[in-house]
Amino acid sequence: MGIIEKMRLDGKKIFVTGGARGIGKSVATAFAEAGADLAIVDLDLDEAKKTATELEENNGIKAIAIKADVTKQEDVDAMIEEILNVFGRLDVAFCNAGICMNIPAEEMTYDQWKKVIDINLNGVFLTAQAAGKVMLKQGGGSIINTASMSGHIVNVPQPQCSYNASKAGVIQLTKSLAVEWATRNVRVNCISPGYIGTELTLNSPSLQPLIEQWNKVAPLGRMGKPEELQSICVYLAGDTSSFTTGSDFVIDGAFTCI
């Protein structure tokens, strides 16, 4: 069997949080194209259903849509229960849901701070923990968390201290879980994307001035594309990455090098 065949995900059961659109949908599409069955998890159930239907029709796999708030333990538990009822097992978790608020630190309310930390860091912990419990019983699995280059640098000119702190936390959480679960065959890695031009980002009038500034500084002179994150996630989800755990993959067009 050649390397391309070995990288397929046929028979794998995967959930993707924040999977209805953007990076989550793009990576879910790659998982489906590689043969995996999917649970598309999102707060927007209607959009999640559209994505699940599209993936099923285009790839001949099984995809379900689940509404869940990743900051609520009961929602995460119900999500896992539904996945196991439908698929019988869980092989890969892509803990991807997140938000960003561009608010000066001195003006940010504590509730705004907590909301970002709750979704971006606590939500990753809850979903990764829930996935890990299942995978430890099964004897293995792969967890992929979405961090950010913002866990390595301070973005300018936008003020986003809560986002930066949350993503730095995701990186260290990933490393900690990887070490704890290493001998039990549960691998935990994260990706740290740079500026990615999702449909929502590119169509936001308020972000256009920022995008122009980012691109002037960026070594490649542009934002990344969601599909440029697909191959690393397929690799991490599959069996060819069996020696890869505790790693943070920065995919930022060399932005953090400057």
* Residues with a known catalytic role: 148, 163, 167
Which residue, 104, 105, 90, 102, is CA-closest to 143? 90
DSSP annotation string for 44-59: -HHHHHHHHHHHHHHH
The first and second tokens of residue 126, run together, are 């809850």
| CB-facing half-sphere around the CA of 177: CA atoms within 13 A | 30
Which residue, 249, 258, 251, 250, is CA-closest to 216? 258
Contact, 14 vs 87, CB < 8 A? no
**Burial of residue 233, with CB atoms counted within 10 A of its CB: 0-12 exposed, 13-18 middle, 19 or more buried:** buried
Q: What are phi and psi of 12, to 5 degrees?
A: -70, 145
Tokens 């938000």 — which residue?
Answer: 99
Q: What is the Cα–Cα distance from 52 to 63, expressed in whole angstroms?
A: 5
Question: From residue 79, how far is each of 34, 36, 159, 160 by CA, in Å?
Answer: 23, 18, 34, 30
Long-range pairs, 214-222, Cβ under 8 A, ≥24:
217/255, 217/258, 218/194, 218/253, 218/255, 219/253, 219/254, 219/255, 219/257, 219/258, 220/253, 220/254, 222/197, 222/253
